[in-house]
Structure 1
Amino acid sequence: MDVLVCAAPGELVLEQRPTPRPAAGEVLLRVRRVGVCGTDMHIYRGTQPYLSYPRVMGHELSGEVVSAPAGSDLEPGDHAYVMPYLSCGTCPACAKGKTNCCMNIRVLGVHVDGALAEYLAVPEGFVRKVEGVGLDEAAMVEFLAIGAHAVRRARIEPGQAALVVGAGPIGIAAALFARLAGARVTVLDGREDRLAFCAEHLGAEQVVSLGDGTARTLSDLTDGAFFDVVFDATGNPGAMQQGFAYVGHGGTYVLISVVAADITFSDPEFHKREMSLLGSRNATIEDFEHVLATIRAGLVPTAALNSHKADLRDLPQALPGWMEPSAGVIKAIVAC
């Protein structure tokens, strides 16, 4: 089978490998679509921590069931998506239902080889049938679920003011699901094209371009009260620290971004506002199912989100260009 391997930073190599033989309890999938995300771009750049090369990237995927264990509700020919966070099921986090932050988690395409291949064997418990959703849409469920999980963590109430800082794919997902939860959404980013997308396709009430007067602009928009909920999806330590200033009194700050840095904040301001600070990592099966239901209901602009496409064999040429801001990528999907 064809397998696209990131042999080293900046080096994608198409290899021939044997088709995997599923072990007991595994499903064999014919991979059909793989979404490319920021994690994959970090791997390609060589800036993804805790990763060893060579690595087969890809954790946003959909495919067709080739074989499944006896007694499974999956059958050959079924279309399916994969929950790529391979949790252990036995650690304290898993016991509390927080499989997204399993103590022994292995993520496809990061800790173990992922989906940029024609076939993939995955434990049955992480493969779910999709109905009423196309393969392209099913490959977008994972990144949307990350935003949906962050919104669920925030416990947004209708009418609250929410600020999303960073309008990449994860920020876009957070803005979408915050608006669907009833929030009045403002999006802050330095890229005008991303802000225009949020206004046109996501129903963002306000979009703000990053600049020297950002704090004053956000204050003016909220009559000095700032925001009930702030989501950071920038992946930038400085932006993450600045975001504390945008949280209103009694508000909540949700850090979706994860960076290899220490984040500091003013303790007097934190306590004065009785701020709630939350981390949001990955997503759970409940978030995946919520996203699927939302797509089926026609509430996700999937056609607009899917901005770029390529075949597996063409990805080594396409990926470097997609990483340039001028390409205007929202979500790129690879056909395998």
Structure 2
Amino acid sequence: MKALICEEPGRLALISRPEPVPGPDEVLVRIRHVGICGTDFHIFGGKHPYLEYPRVMGHELSGTVETAPEGSGLNPGDPVYIVPYLSCGTCQACRIGLTNACVNIRVLGVHCDGGMAELIAVPVQNVVPTGDIPLPDAAMIEFLAIGAHGVKRGAITARDRVLVTGTGPIGMSAIIFAKARGAHVTVMDMRPDRLAFAREGLGADAALTADAGAEAQAARLTGGDWFDVVIDATGAAPPIERGFGFLAHGARYVLLSVVRQDITFSDPEFHKREATLIASRNAQPDDFAEVVAQMRAGRVPTRALNTHRGSLSDGVALFQDWSRPEAGVIKAILDL
């Protein structure tokens, strides 16, 4: 079968490798669509903290069942999406239901080879029927679930003033699900095009340019009260640290981003606000279900989000093109 492999940072190759042989509790899935994530671009750029090369990337996956274990409820030809978090089921985190934070977690395309290939074998519990969700849209469920999980972690309600910093796909997913809960959402980024899309395409209520005047703008916007919830999706330490300055008293700060280096903040300022710092990692089954429900309700603008499409065979050249900021990619999908 064909597979797109990242041999080392900055170098991709389309290779031929043996088809996977599924185990007794695994489903063999023929991949139809692969969403390209910021994680994939970080792997390509050599910036991911949890990876060894070479690696077949790809964790935003939809496809059709080739073979499935008897009694699984899955049949050949069924359209499915894949939950890419392979949890052990026995560690302390799994025992309390935090499979997204499994001590021994393996994420497809990161800790082990993923779905930028014609076929993949995955545990039956990680394969979910798409129902009436089109397969190209189903390839976007995973990144949207990350935003849904962060919004859930922040316990966002219609009473909250929310600031989302960083308007890449993960930030956009946080905007979508915060708005679905009725919150007033402000977005902050350096890119005018992303800020415009967040307002016009996703329904964000206000936008801040992440320049030297952002704090003054935010103070005016909130009457000096700042934000009840701040969600960081920037993927960089300086804006994460800056985000502490936008917290209201009693606020929650949700970190969707993960960075290699330490982050620091003023303890007296954080303490006097009795603020809460919240990590948000991956997503849980109810987050995937929430994405599907909001898709069916028409609250996820999938066509607008999916800005670029191409084939796996052209993936080497496309990945180079799509990794450039001027390409204007929001969500790119490889078709097989």
* Pairwise CA distance, 1:159: 2.7
With normalisation by structure 1, the TM-score equals: 0.99
Hey, what does 1:225 align to over in structure 2?
225
In 1, Cα distance between equivalents of 2:326 and 2:252? 34
In 1, Cα distance between equivalents of 2:67 and 2:267? 55
Map 1:98-117; keep pairs closer than 5 Å.
Answer: 98-117=98-117
Hey, what does 2:188 align to over in structure 1?
188
1:303 equivalent to 2:303? Answer yes
Q: Is the 8 A contact 2:176 2:299 kept in 1?
A: no
2:142 partner amino acid: E
2:245 partner amino acid: A
Hey, what does 1:124 align to over in structure 2?
124
Hey, what does 2:147 align to over in structure 1?
147
Q: Which sections of structure 2, spanning at least 5 residues, go unmatched?
A: none
Q: Deviations over 1:228-251 (max 9, x none)?
A: 000000011011011001010111
1:132 partner amino acid: D
In 1, Cα distance between equivalents of 2:202 and 2:214? 22
User: SS in structure 2 opposite 1:234?
Assistant: coil
1:104 partner amino acid: N
Q: Is the 8 A contact 2:309 2:332 kept in 1?
A: yes
Q: Which moved more, 1:11-20 or 1:105-114?
A: 11-20
Hey, what does 1:174 align to over in structure 2?
174
Hey, what does 1:238 align to over in structure 2?
238
2:107 partner amino acid: V
In 2, Cα distance between equivalents of 1:320 and 1:3? 17
Q: Deviations over 1:37-71 (max 9, x none)?
A: 11101111111123111100000000000010011
In 2, Cα distance between equivalents of 1:255 and 1:37? 18
Q: Is the 8 A contact 2:65 2:79 kept in 1?
A: yes
Q: CA RMSD, aligned part only?
A: 0.7
User: SS in structure 2 opposite 1:52?
Assistant: coil
Hey, what does 2:59 align to over in structure 1?
59
Hey, what does 1:274 align to over in structure 2?
274
User: SS in structure 2 opposite 1:187?
Assistant: strand
User: SS in structure 2 opposite 1:235?
Assistant: coil
In 2, Cα distance between equivalents of 1:8 and 1:325? 21
User: SS in structure 1 opposite 2:55?
Assistant: coil
In 1, Cα distance between equivalents of 2:261 and 2:219? 28
In 1, Cα distance between equivalents of 2:130 and 2:90? 27
Hey, what does 2:208 align to over in structure 1?
208
In 2, Cα distance between equivalents of 1:215 and 1:271? 20
User: SS in structure 1 opposite 2:56?
Assistant: coil
In 2, Cα distance between equivalents of 1:50 and 1:212? 33
Hey, what does 1:28 align to over in structure 2?
28
In 1, Cα distance between equivalents of 2:227 and 2:301? 26
Hey, what does 2:71 align to over in structure 1?
71
Q: Deviations over 1:75-128 (max 9, x none)?
A: 111000010010111111111111110000000000000000000000101111
Runs of 4+ residues over 2 Å off in structure 1: none
User: SS in structure 2 opposite 1:163?
Assistant: strand
User: SS in structure 2 opposite 1:313?
Assistant: helix
User: SS in structure 2 opposite 1:310?
Assistant: strand
User: SS in structure 2 opposite 1:177?
Assistant: helix
With normalisation by structure 2, the TM-score equals: 0.99
In 1, Cα distance between equivalents of 2:156 and 2:13? 44
In 2, Cα distance between equivalents of 1:244 and 1:80? 40
Q: Deviations over 1:13-46 (max 9, x none)?
A: 1111121111110000000000001110111111
Q: Deviations over 1:157-176 (max 9, x none)?
A: 21310000000000000011
Hey, what does 1:12 align to over in structure 2?
12
Q: Which moved more, 1:318-327 or 1:228-237?
A: 318-327
1:208 partner amino acid: L
* Pairwise CA distance, 1:150: 0.2
In 2, Cα distance between equivalents of 1:154 and 1:262? 22
Q: Is the 8 A contact 2:235 2:257 kept in 1?
A: yes
